[in-house]
Structure 1
């Protein structure tokens, strides 16, 4: 009963952790949109809330790690679970850091790029959002993990394609921009796109974890 109680607590912590990652992705999407459309007050609110969530995620991650080690819970799965938490934590860290760069560097983004950058953000966030149910399934129904992950890879590929198209448009179809502005736009396109890469990396980890549990 003692071990069961602590195992249940660790699962509860992980579930809360996943909720925070999900919320962080949504806030990143809203933050980018608010920046692009000049909603400064809402953008700063998104940034502040995302920063708080990132801190909360770190706290829950440490609590979970401590519980898994001190109570010797799930020893055969512990290493994989800690690796998963690390990859998920990296997602919200990237979201906060990259949104913060919009506030620090204040990139000039032509209005004609807004729609494409919003779409890129949606694709990256969709990749993250698709990881969450797969991570939950790992603890309840590991055999269903693989079928839930295909969306992550789909969104990541679409994000890559769109990011390349945006960068090509910037360098080939916008002669009025300074070269420094083009480099800046490429840089911030990458800031958005890289979240889908982080989601893909997490999906790779989950895929291997699920295979190990089902063989």
Structure 2
């Protein structure tokens, strides 16, 4: 048989499933937040030039993830039934993408204004970002277990393992919230020492970093909704 006839068939067989694409997108999310975490440490220490280079990497990773997202949407099966609700799958992808958007927006905001972080606040800012990173890591682990669950046709043991990972995401997100609350309180305590715009900027950093954990939790909630069958 002519290879020109066979090639499209084999190409179709080798096509990635939407879930493989989702995991590829998730890997970009995790990498982006890892890069952002290291960049924020530079920013908090006043190494703004080094942070500028990190901000470019964050933007590049966000763009690469956007290409993956576009490819997933372009190749979602139309006539073949998916093992989960297609609408929920697309919403899950949207929430993953929101993490990247927040990371890029945060990096851009910090690039626009270099604010000196008071030394008293540096440990809390770093601890907060570390906990947010832990939340994202737990989210990725939940997604990995979710893929295994799909491959095993919703075996009860695997379903329980996914639920455990989802609970871990919620716990990490709650811990991040507690650190953010403490950080916000400490910023307000320094109100008389800080310039109004500096205070506002510090509060925004805490908010936007915490938003990353919120969206990671949303991803976990959507996974939970998809296995509730």
TM-score over 0.5 for the alignment? yes
Pick from 90, 93, 96: which aligns with 1:82? Answer: 90
Pick from 120, 135, 139: which aligns with 2:143? Answer: 135
The equivalent of 2:220 in structure 1 is 203
Pick from 180, 184, 208: which aligns with 1:191? Answer: 208
Structure 1 residues without counterparts, runs of 5 or longer: none
Q: 1:30-89: per-residue Cα shift (whole Å, max 9, x none)?
A: 111111112334312221111111111111111111111457462753222211111101
CA RMSD of aligned residues (A): 2.3
The equivalent of 1:68 in structure 2 is 76
Post-superposition shift, 1:92? 1.0
Higher-Rg structure is 2
Question: Greater helix percent: which structure?
Answer: 1
The equivalent of 2:4 in structure 1 is none
- Of 164-173 and 45-54, deviating more is 164-173
Alignment CA distance shift 1:6-1:66 (3 Å): farther
The equivalent of 2:164 in structure 1 is 147
Post-superposition shift, 1:2? 7.1
In 1, distance between residues paired with 2:49 and 2:202?
Answer: 23
| TM-score with structure 2 setting the length | 0.83
The equivalent of 2:118 in structure 1 is 110
Q: 1:140-172: per-residue Cα shift (whole Å, max 9, x none)?
A: 225121111122111111111111111111212
The equivalent of 1:172 in structure 2 is 189
In 2, distance between residues paired with 1:91 and 1:103?
Answer: 18
Alignment CA distance shift 1:10-1:184 (3 Å): closer
In 1, distance between residues paired with 2:22 and 2:117?
Answer: 38
| TM-score with structure 1 setting the length | 0.88
In 1, distance between residues paired with 2:83 and 2:10?
Answer: 16
In 2, distance between residues paired with 1:11 and 1:153?
Answer: 23
In 1, distance between residues paired with 2:185 and 2:14?
Answer: 52
Alignment CA distance shift 1:55-1:25 (3 Å): same
